[in-house]
Amino acid sequence: MKLLVSILFLSAITAQASVDTLKPPAPALPGVFADPHIAAFGKKFYLYPTTDGTTGWMSDHFTAWSSADLIHWKPEGTILDLKKDITWADERAWAPAIAYKNKRYYYYFSADVNIGVAVSDKPAGPFKDPIGKPLVPKGKLRGQMIDPMVFVDDDGSAYLYWGQGNCNMVKLNDDMVSYDSTTLTSFRPQGYNEGSFVFKRNGTYYLMWSEYDTRDPRYSVAYATSKSPLGPYIKAEKNPVLKGRDLVKGAGHHSVVQVPGKDEWYIAYHRFKIPDGNGYNRETCISPMRFDAEGNILPVDVYESVPEKKRK
């Protein structure tokens, strides 16, 4: 009898896996968008992606999307146009991030392999450049000056992370648009390529990043932990925590959001568009992200979308 139950259980698991891998969940956003930064402000969630669909990633503007339930996303339109709003770059608008401090919203972005910052009184913009130059200019450090991320700690201190090839970190000044470059540190976690993201849970700081190249089907996400926002970070033993499977390829360049007031977390990321996608045609997805009792991030199921209860 026990043998029969075991066989039936394994058969059910196999059948479920077969069904899942033939039916990937629909993307969160229509069309091709990549490098999504997800955030919660007030009673809404926001997505800030890269506009995809051109060889060489030649987009010249950024959009925002809002949602009350993580399921239905409303387009908020263009929030920053490089050609109109920025004087020092006009193409390659990539990988934005956003942070809230001083009762304002600070939008960090890559533009022509520089990192800029723009400011608004609203999470959906429009955003304006307050300094008229890159916050981090190309060539400042080794690797590409792309993929910014800003983490604001419980005490109000803010930290900027960025870089392809190396993970660079520095504490921002209180104005959020400047920093002391003499305090900048750089390191390269094992496997690190780009797309750093930092969050804090139960006193532990999590640094996450993407491995391989975004055009590689093996593109995936790993993480390390620390007791300080600037490290040292120790890479977790069980990695990657996000990777593609079967029809899902190139799952990476993510961000994480906590549902306000709950220990409930979601990860936004891109994958190759299904069907016929590649590293220049990617789509944004959202899946639950969970932890074990010790605080380790559990593997994310790229065939699991936001649960039905969020629709109610």
274-287 pLDDT, tens per residue? 999 999 999 999 99
Q: Does residue 240 have a cis peptide bond before it, meaning omega lies within 30 degrees of 0?
A: yes
35 is catalytic: yes
Domain ranges of the chain: 28-311
At residue 296, the pLDDT reads 98
At residue 153, the pLDDT reads 98
At residue 306, the pLDDT reads 96
- Reading the block at residue 46, the tokens are 């926001």
At residue 9, the pLDDT reads 33
Residues 102-123: pLDDT tens digits?
Answer: 999 999 999 999 999 999 999 9
At residue 20, the pLDDT reads 54
State the catalytic residue, choosing from 20, 76, 194, 283: 194
What are the φ and ψ backbone dihedral angles of 194, each rounded to 5 degrees? -170, -175
User: Does residue 308 carry a pLDDT above 80?
Assistant: no
User: Does residue 16 carry a pLDDT above 80?
Assistant: no
State the catalytic residue, choosing from 35, 52, 129, 283: 35
237 is catalytic: no
Residues 32-73: pLDDT tens digits?
Answer: 999 999 999 999 999 999 999 999 999 999 999 999 999 999
> Looking at this protein, which amino acid is placed at residue 239?
N
Average pLDDT over residues 267-271: 98
312: confidence class by pLDDT, cuts 50, 70, 90? very low
User: Does residue 311 carry a pLDDT above 60?
Assistant: no
Going by CATH, does the domain composed of 28-311 fall within 3.30.565.10?
no
Full 3-state SS string of the chain:
CHHHHHHHHHHHHHHHHHHHHHCCCCCCCCCCEEEEEEEEECCEEEEEEEECCCCCCCCCEEEEEEECCCCCCEEEEEEEEHHHHCCCCCCCEEEEEEEEECCEEEEEEEECCEEEEEEECCCCCCCECCCCCCCECCCCCCCECCCCEEEECCCCCEEEEECECCEEEEEECCCCCCECHHHCEEECCCCCCEEEEEEEECCEEEEEEEECCCCCCCCEEEEEEECCCCCCCEECCCCCCEECECCECCCEEEEEEECCCCCCEEEEEEEECCCCCECCEEEEEEEEECECCCCCECCCCCCCCCCHHHHC
User: Does residue 161 carry a pLDDT above 70?
Assistant: yes
